[in-house]
Structure 1
């Protein structure tokens, strides 16, 4: 039995904002080999949030028309995703074809590659462990 003062939560949902939540959800669904599981409406009934379910976690991509991506690397990131692939060069090529871009600033050396998703938010790709 655990001490009632000790928290032991589990992250069940990762929420990510963008100017076009559907476009970002489609990008990450393709990158992660899944599909959009559900769309949620805003107060006016328009689809505004798009959910992916992956490995027991949900990722929800929200449309926020006033969203502006962090100007990385000039500004610090509040968070970012790391995605592992068996074949990193092939994954990079496919992600670029899906709409990612590769910034000139690459601080990971041989360990990881930074890409920007279609909303301009950085994420890293690396080799599977």
Structure 2
């Protein structure tokens, strides 16, 4: 059997780790990590998945869809409510909605407060 890897953590660069952690904590319900500080904040899901946010000097947010500043990765979140309801909730928390949206009825592209694109999906 070949070695198996299990995803344990995802870390995003950003200008303000505490603010970005607060956005994702409100959006996902993950619990704040007790050792978060001004330069690195984290959230943990009940099964142990960790999302980290690290301060980067001169941070430049990714641009989408033009890739002038590449996004390098994006997150996809399955939502339990309808897309319109999830989008409205996330926009109220501080997400942005790019003008460009690819066609499709099962997903939307939003950006977090630091500019990282992420998708919400219903399937």
**Category of TM-score, reference length = shorter chain:** 0.7 to 0.9
TM-score under structure 1 length normalisation: 0.84
Q: Report if aligned partners of 1:26, 1:35 keep a CA contact under 8 Å in 2.
A: no
Structure 2 gap ranges (5+): none
Whole-angstrom CA distance in 1 between matches of 2:87 and 2:66: 23
Whole-angstrom CA distance in 2 between matches of 1:108 and 1:39: 41
Structure 1 gap ranges (5+): 42-46
- In structure 2, the CA distance between the partners of 1:53 and 1:108, relative to structure 1 (3 Å rule), is farther
The answer for the alignment partner of 1:99 in structure 2 is 94
Per-residue CA deviation, residues 53-95 of structure 1 (Å, 9 max, x unaligned), is 1132111111113111111111143110001112122111110
Poorly superposed stretches of 4+, deviation over 6 Å: none
1:71 matched to 2:71? The reply is no
Alignment of structure 1 residues 23-102 onto 2, 5 Å: 23-41=19-37, 47-54=38-45, 55-75=47-67, 76-87=70-81, 88-102=83-97
- In structure 2, the CA distance between the partners of 1:108 and 1:62, relative to structure 1 (3 Å rule), is farther
Q: Report if aligned partners of 2:64, 2:98 keep a CA contact under 8 Å in 1.
A: no
**Higher Cα Rg: structure 1 or 2?**
1
Moved more, 67-76 or 114-123: 67-76
TM-score under structure 2 length normalisation: 0.87
SS in 1 for 2:33: strand
- In proportion to residue count, which structure has more strand? 1
Count of matched residue pairs:
119
Whole-angstrom CA distance in 2 between matches of 1:34 and 1:7: 29
Per-residue CA deviation, residues 83-110 of structure 1 (Å, 9 max, x unaligned), is 1112122111110011001111001421
